[in-house]
């Protein structure tokens, strides 16, 4: 049932009115849903060139000899010749000890045309990647994106600013949002999603329910400065992980 819902949610989202302006799909290898995402894309009828497709490599494929095979599996499951953004899921490895992070982290040169990013990394871990990139940009490209937990209760403001100062785009995810606001004729969830977008990042939505997807995609409106401040004042430094 869950896999069928993934297929439907992918197709439905791609064809939803608000999504027609920008179609981004964020998936992940270890959740074993890439085949269902592929079916959803096919079902939608949307051309591959009109979709920004992102996925994450799991921790046991970080060794330079393993990256290519793992990415080949992903490309096969998604039935695509490329992904637009490939991210490292977590800053840890489960094998190949001599070469694992924070030592040398080498991406295969065959994939240099695609975007590279990381997820759930600390500032220190990203500093290590940037240091590697400064000495060998060809085989250790600097991350273009960092996907991390960001919401009104856990804003990580200084970390966000540090990343942006280095040209790293922030993509925020949240398991739940407890803070509610009602304004602009929008739901509390839409307002908080708009806060994330107005803060300069990208927001990852998580739902397989049609009406929730539709409403979430209507969150691309501008919040007044005082409302941005009001939501930002909810900061509690409370991670929901």
Q: Is 116's pLDDT higher than 90?
A: no
Looking at residue 177, what is its pLDDT? 39
Residue position matching structure tokens 């400065």: 225
Residue position matching structure tokens 């637009």: 84
Q: Is 41's pLDDT higher than 80?
A: yes
| Mean pLDDT calculated for residue range 169-197 | 65
Q: Binding site membership: which residues? A: 89
Q: Is 163's pLDDT higher than 60?
A: yes
Among the listed residues 31, 62, 153, 184, the single catalytic one is: 31
Q: Is 66's pLDDT higher than 70?
A: yes
Looking at residue 175, what is its pLDDT? 46
| Mean pLDDT calculated for residue range 47-73 | 87
Looking at residue 100, what is its pLDDT? 45
Looking at residue 140, what is its pLDDT? 60
Q: Is 101's pLDDT higher than 50?
A: no
Q: Binding site membership for substrate: which residues? A: 89
Looking at residue 142, what is its pLDDT? 79
Q: Is 237's pLDDT higher than 70?
A: no
Residue 153 designated active-site: no
Strand order in the sheet with 145-149: 24-26, 52-57, 85-88, 115-119, 145-149, 169-173, 202-203
Average pLDDT, the chain: 77
Looking at 71-198, which runs of residues are DSSP E strands?
Answer: 85-88, 115-119, 145-149, 169-173
Quote the CA–CA distance of 56 and 143 in Å, as a whole number: 13
Q: Would you say how long the chain is, in residues?
A: 241
Could you report the per-residue pLDDT of 9-28, keeping only the tens digit for each?
888 888 876 556 568 888 98
Report residue 49 CA to chain centroid gap. 19
Quote the CA–CA distance of 113 and 163 in Å, as a whole number: 22
When mean pLDDT is compared across 28-32, 150-154, 159-163, 167-171, the lowest value belongs to: 150-154
Superfamily of domain 2-143: NADP-dependent oxidoreductase domain (3.20.20.100)
| Mean pLDDT calculated for residue range 142-153 | 84
Q: Where are the domains of the chain?
A: 2-143, 172-241
Looking at residue 75, what is its pLDDT? 93
Name the region of 206 (left: φ>0; alpha: ψ -120 to 50; beta: rest).
beta
Quote the CA–CA distance of 192 and 223 in Å, as a whole number: 10
Closest CA to 196 of 241, 236, 147: 147
């Amino acid at each position: 049932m869950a896999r069928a819902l993934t297929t439907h949610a992918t197709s439905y989202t791609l064809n939803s009115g608000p999504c027609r302006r920008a179609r981004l799909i964020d998936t992940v290898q270890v959740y074993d849903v890439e085949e269902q995402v592929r079916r959803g894309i096919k079902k939608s009828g949307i051309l591959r060139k009109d979709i920004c497709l992102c996925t994450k490599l799991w921790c046991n494929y970080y060794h330079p000899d393993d990256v290519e095979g793992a990415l080949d599996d992903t490309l096969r499951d998604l039935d695509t010749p490329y992904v637009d953004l490939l991210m490292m899921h977590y800053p840890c490895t489960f094998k190949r000890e001599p070469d694992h992070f924070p030592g040398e982290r080498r991406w295969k040169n065959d994939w240099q045309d695609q975007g590279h990013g990381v997820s759930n990394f600390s500032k220190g871990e990203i500093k290590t990647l940037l240091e590697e990139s400064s000495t060998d940009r060809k085989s250790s490209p600097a991350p273009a994106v960092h996907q991390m937990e960001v919401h009104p209760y856990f804003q990580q403001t200084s970390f966000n600013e540090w990343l942006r100062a280095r040209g790293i785009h922030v993509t925020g995810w949240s398991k739940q949002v407890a803070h509610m606001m009602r304004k602009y004729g929008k739901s509390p969830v839409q307002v908080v999603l708009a806060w994330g977008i107005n803060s300069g990042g990208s927001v990852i939505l998580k739902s397989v329910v049609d009406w929730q997807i539709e409403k979430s995609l209507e969150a691309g409106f501008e919040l007044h400065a005082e409302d941005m401040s009001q939501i930002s004042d909810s900061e509690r430094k409370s991670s929901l992980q």
